Structure formats: structure tokens, C-alpha cells
């Protein structure tokens, strides 16, 4: 079996419309489902570029969701995904995400990634991202001329084995390498920055652009259990200082990278998440004086125009940047 059947494509469309369902709201963005955003034609175009093995794997995976036996295995309901109601589809995907069966969790991850990637990326040659209009994003400004910052970074392409001399070699031109090289060069060192691809090729130019103090992956309690109270406190304070530093660095250096201090909302997807966040916030304020507040479910519409979450935490000092423009500014 090489190609996908129409039923496979319908099943994928139903899954994508469950991940990106139409949700009524004041600002219009979430009212558009995956189908409204043109996902299926993009999926069909993608299929024509996949190799036979990948297509066949995708067919086998989608076939599981379009049979009663597959439904029983994947989400414990002997029903095709497309025959389920909207709520039951959501429940089925959640069951797959939490399933003890590795294959079910993997299929959930693959379908979610595929849907998100198809929605977030434009087709080859397109000048506009498919989500821009729905987000009210006009378009990025033209990139500054490359020579703009060339007084700092001089580029040389190394095509063969070469001997170079310098004080310090920095490997990798992401945020870490660029900031390290800049600091060393400004401190009078002769710095050689090596990059295997192009400047900022890695995560630094392609991330979500959220600038925060970093206190998300671990709670204060987890950090304290791991490293002890003093080190946990030092790490949290370092994060808070880093947030202030990035904002003032961008302003001082006049880096055009769409810096906006628009704050961040961290939504609680379950009631117990809200309680955990509230407890962690008390610890954060106690240990490091992090500026944030909890917002209950009834009040979150004022923050995000949605009642989807069980409340959440607002971090008013968090910011966002255009990651690739920040890389360009650093270089
Ligand atoms: C999808 C995604 C979203 C993210 N969103 C956010 C966010 O919203 N906010 C946030 O703060 N962080 C975010 N991050 C994390 C953030 O992007 C990274 O922490 C950060 O970019 C790491 O920077 P870096 O310089 O250490 O690494 P990188 O940016 O990955 O740079 C490493 C560089 O080294 C080069 N390299 C590797 N090996 C060699 C070699 N042997 N020789 C020469 N060059 C080499 C690579 O080509 C690359 O250019 C996100 C990450 C991802 C993947």
C-alpha cells in the first residue's frame, strides 16, 4: 500500500480539527479551525513529497484510527475516530496522549506535530504564513542589510584546512556563542567564532521568542530538592537578572528585534495545575521576589480573551522578541 486513501485524509482532517477546533471568542483567532485555515489542501501537497515508506507508515497509522479495533486499541472505544462526537474526539486524543501503550502516545505526538507544523509553515514560495492574517500580524519588516553590523563580526568561509590564530575560539553562533564572542571581543580578546552552518542556524533564530526569567521547567521545590536552597535561590535570581539584562541590552544596543514587554500568561490546563502554580508562585516570591500574580478562571478572559484554562499565572515583566532579528543584532 503506497498512497493514502480518502478515508485516511478525512481521519487526519478530523484529528487536526480536534487539535485546532473552532472556539468562539472575542478576538476571532480561535474561531478558525484547522480546516478553516486550509490544512487539508496543504496536507495533500505534503503527501506528494513524501517517500513511499513514510506514506505507507502514515497510512497504517491513520487506518488504525478509522477502524473499530484500532479505536479500541488506541483510545479504548470501539469506534472510528470520525464517528465520534466532538467531545468524544477530544477525549480519545487525551486518552492516546496518556495511554500506557507507547504506540498510542507516539501516534498522538506524530499527529499533533504534523498538524502544528502544517498550520505554522507556509507552502514553498509563499510569502505569507498561513496564520498571519488570523493573528492580525501584518508581516515582518525587511531584514537589515548584512553589512549593518559587520564592524563587529567579519565573515570568512573556510573551504579547506586552514591555520588561524586567535586568543579564544568559540564554537557555535547561537545566542550563547554570539554573546560570549561579543563579550570577549569587547574585552579586548581576538575571538574566532566557528559556525558549521550559517549565523544563528540553530534554535536561536527559530524559537518562540518568549523572554522570561526561566522559572518554568522546575518548581522552586524541585530546584531546592535537586541543588539545595542556596543554589536554587541563586539560579532563580540569575534568571530574573537575565530577563532584565536582555531587555536593557536590546535597548542599549538599539537592536531592532520587535522587543515587546507584553507579559506572559501561563494557563493551568487542569484545576490541580492551578493549585501547584499558586504554591510555586508563593515560593518564587519568597525566594526571589518574582513579579507575578495568579488569575482565577473567572478573570482570565481579561488577560487572554478565553475561558479555556482553569486560571493561570500572569508574569507582567516577560517579553517577546523576533528571535532571528535578535541573532542578527547580536552578530
Ligand atoms: C522550537 C523551540 C522553541 C523555543 N522557544 C524558546 C522561547 O520562546 N524562549 C526561550 O527563551 N527559549 C526558547 N527555546 C530555547 C532557545 O532557543 C535555546 O535555549 C537557545 O537558542 C540556545 O542557544 P545556543 O546558542 O546555546 O544554541 P543554538 O542556537 O542551537 O546554537 C548552536 C549553534 O552551534 C552550531 N554548531 C553546532 N555544532 C557545531 C560544530 N561542531 N561546529 C560549528 N558549529 C556548530 C549550530 O549550527 C548552531 O548554529 C526554544 C527552542 C526550540 C527548539
Q: What ranges do the domains of the chain cover?
A: 6-124, 150-205, 210-323
Identify the pLDDT of residue 150: 45
- What's the rounded Cα separation, in Å, for the pair 102 and 255? 45
User: Can you tell me whether residue 17 is helix, strand or coil?
Assistant: helix
DSSP bridge pairs for 297: none
- Structure confidence by residue, pLDDT tens digits, 132-144: 776 677 777 665 5
- What's the rounded Cα separation, in Å, for the pair 193 and 202? 15
Identify the pLDDT of residue 126: 65
Identify the pLDDT of residue 139: 76
DSSP bridge pairs for 294: 313
Looking from the CA of residue 177, the nearest atom of ligand 1 is 25
User: Can you tell me whether residue 86 is helix, strand or coil?
Assistant: helix
Query: Do residues 16 and 66 make contact, with C-beta atoms less than 8 angstroms apart?
Result: no
Identify the pLDDT of residue 238: 87
Identify the pLDDT of residue 141: 67
Residue 192 backbone dihedrals phi, psi, to 5 degrees: -110, 115
- What's the rounded Cα separation, in Å, for the pair 331 and 147? 10
With the most atoms of ligand 1 within 8 angstroms of its CB, the residue from 202, 260, 264, 315 to mutate is 202
Q: In the 3-class helix/strand/coil scheme, how is 123-158 assigned residue by residue?
A: CCCCCCCCCHHHHCCCCCCCCCCHHHHCCCCCCCCC
Check the CA dihedral 82-85-90-92 and report its sign: negative
Identify the pLDDT of residue 149: 47
pLDDT averaged per 10 residues, the chain (length 331)? 84 94 69 84 89 90 94 96 95 93 93 87 66 72 53 80 93 96 90 94 94 84 90 87 93 94 93 94 83 92 88 94 94 90
With the most atoms of ligand 1 within 8 angstroms of its CB, the residue from 116, 117, 120, 172 to mutate is 172
CB within 8 Å of 8: residues ≥ 6 apart: 58, 59, 62, 63, 66
Residues with CB under 6 A from ligand 1: 171-177, 194-197, 201-204, 207-210
Helical (H) or strand (E) element with 15: helix 6-19
Bridge pairing between strands 319-320 and 312-315: unpaired
Query: Do residues 262 and 331 make contact, with C-beta atoms less than 8 angstroms apart?
Result: no
- pTM check: above 0.75: no
Identify the pLDDT of residue 27: 57
Amino acid at each position: 500500500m503506497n498512497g493514502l486513501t480518502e478515508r485516511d485524509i478525512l481521519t487526519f482532517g478530523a484529528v487536526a480539527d480536534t487539535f485546532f477546533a473552532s472556539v468562539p471568542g472575542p478576538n476571532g483567532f480561535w474561531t478558525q479551525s484547522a480546516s478553516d485555515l486550509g490544512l487539508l489542501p496543504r496536507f495533500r501537497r505534503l503527501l506528494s513529497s513524501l517517500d513511499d515508506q513514510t506514506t505507507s507508515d502514515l497510512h497504517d497509522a491513520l487506518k488504525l484510527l478509522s477502524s473499530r479495533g484500532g479505536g479500541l486499541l488506541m483510545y479504548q472505544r470501539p469506534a472510528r475516530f470520525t464517528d465520534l462526537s466532538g467531545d468524544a474526539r477530544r477525549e480519545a486524543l487525551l486518552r492516546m496522549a496518556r495511554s500506557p501503550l507507547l504506540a498510542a502516545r507516539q501516534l498522538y505526538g506524530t499527529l499533533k506535530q504534523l498538524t502544528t507544523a502544517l498550520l505554522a509553515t507556509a507552502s514553498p514560495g509563499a510569502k505569507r504564513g498561513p496564520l498571519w492574517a488570523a493573528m492580525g500580524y501584518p508581516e515582518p519588516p525587511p531584514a537589515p542589510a548584512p553589512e549593518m553590523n559587520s564592524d563587529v563580526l567579519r565573515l570568512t568561509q573556510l573551504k579547506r584546512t586552514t591555520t588561524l590564530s586567535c586568543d579564544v575560539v568559540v564554537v557555535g553562533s547561537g545566542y550563547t556563542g554570539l554573546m560570549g564572542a561579543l563579550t570577549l571581543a569587547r574585552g579586548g580578546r581576538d575571538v574566532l567564532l566557528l559556525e558549521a552552518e550559517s549565523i544563528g542556524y540553530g534554535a536561536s533564530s527559530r524559537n518562540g521568542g518568549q523572554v522570561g526569567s526561566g522559572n518554568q521547567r522546575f518548581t522552586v521545590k524541585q530546584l531546592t530538592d535537586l541543588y539545595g536552597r542556596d543554589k536554587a535561590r541563586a539560579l532563580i535570581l540569575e534568571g530574573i537578572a537575565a530577563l532584565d539584562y536582555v531587555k536593557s541590552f536590546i535597548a542599549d544596543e538599539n537592536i531592532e528585534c520587535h522587543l515587546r514587554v507584553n507579559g506572559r500568561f501561563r494557563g493551568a490546563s487542569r484545576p490541580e495545575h492551578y493549585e501547584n502554580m499558586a504554591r510555586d508562585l508563593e515560593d518564587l516570591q519568597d525566594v526571589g521576589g518574582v513579579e507575578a500574580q495568579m488569575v482565577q478562571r473567572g478573570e482570565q478572559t481579561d488577560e487572554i480573551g478565553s475561558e479555556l484554562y482553569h486560571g493561570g499565572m500572569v508574569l507582567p515583566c516577560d517579553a517577546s522578541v523576533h528571535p532571528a532579528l535578535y541573532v542578527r543584532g547580536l552578530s
